[in-house]
Amino acid sequence: MNIKIALFIAISFISSECSSFSRKTFARNRDTEQNITLDTIFVKADAINNDSSQKVSKLKNISIGVVFTNSYCGGVRPSQEILEECKKEFPLINSTILFQDINDKNKSIKATTDSSGIAIVPLKSGVYNYFMTASYSKTMNCAFTSTCDIWLKKCFGQVTIVKGETDGYKIAYNFGCNPCLPPRP
């Protein structure tokens, strides 16, 4: 059966049977003698759409709060106050960050945080590593510096995007001591 005819039958069937629809078999594939369900037609219809450059995006705009902490990198033993200050989270403002799909390292997307440290990122559900980029706000009191290539290649953590959940996410960058500087005694 021609896929376009099958698609037409599926759409006609859905419009007339929409209220009682439950994956009914409505046609038989003459080439393979398999039953064709509505799910099969939808998958093939998606393939037709992709072939004709009418891609339907499954990406959702995800709201992610982005914060950072610094580490104490002095040579003298720090006071308790200094250690407590290092635990404080600050919004990572006006900075571009990179998300990389853990299943496909070639799929990555950059997003820029706003003045509150919120990034709106078009992502589908899945797990993503996150990185810093050379574009960041130098007005923040953060230990990060883009002149250190090691930091630009460092994965700072992972975030799992859950299907259907578009907000409530938070990621944190812990900027330790600059790995491009020699260690202090």
CATH architecture of the domain formed by 60-175: Sandwich (2.60)
- pLDDT confidence tier of residue 18, bands split at 50, 70 and 90: very low
Q: What distance in Å separates the CA atoms of residue 140 and residue 65, rounded to the nearest whole number?
A: 16
Asked if pLDDT for residue 2 goes beyond 60, the answer is no
State the pLDDT at residue 32: 41
DSSP 8-state code for residue 168: -
pLDDT tens per residue across span 127-143 = 999 999 999 999 998 88
Q: What distance in Å separates the CA atoms of residue 99 and residue 111, rounded to the nearest whole number?
A: 8
- Local structure of 178: helix, strand or coil: coil
pLDDT tens per residue across span 56-107 = 346 789 999 999 998 888 778 888 998 888 889 999 999 999 999 999 988 9
State the pLDDT at residue 105: 87
Q: pLDDT exceeding 90 applies to what percent of the chain?
A: 48
pLDDT tens per residue across span 21-64 = 333 333 344 444 444 433 333 333 334 334 433 343 467 899 99
Among the listed residues 81, 19, 35, 120, the one whose alpha carbon sits nearest the alpha carbon of residue 110: 120
Q: What distance in Å separates the CA atoms of residue 135 and residue 145, rounded to the nearest whole number?
A: 10
State the pLDDT at residue 93: 97
Tell me the whole-structure pTM to 2 decimals. Answer: 0.65
Annotate 26-85 with DSSP letters as a single string. EEEETTTTEEEEHHHHHHHHHHHHHHTT-PPP--EEEEEEEEEEE----SSPPPHHHHHH
Domain regions of the chain by residue span = 3-51, 60-175
State the pLDDT at residue 11: 38
Q: What distance in Å separates the CA atoms of residue 140 and residue 70, rounded to the nearest whole number?
A: 11
* Mean pLDDT, the chain, integer: 75
Q: Return phi, psi of residue 45, to 5°.
A: -65, -40
Among the listed residues 114, 128, 123, the one whose alpha carbon sits nearest the alpha carbon of residue 163: 123
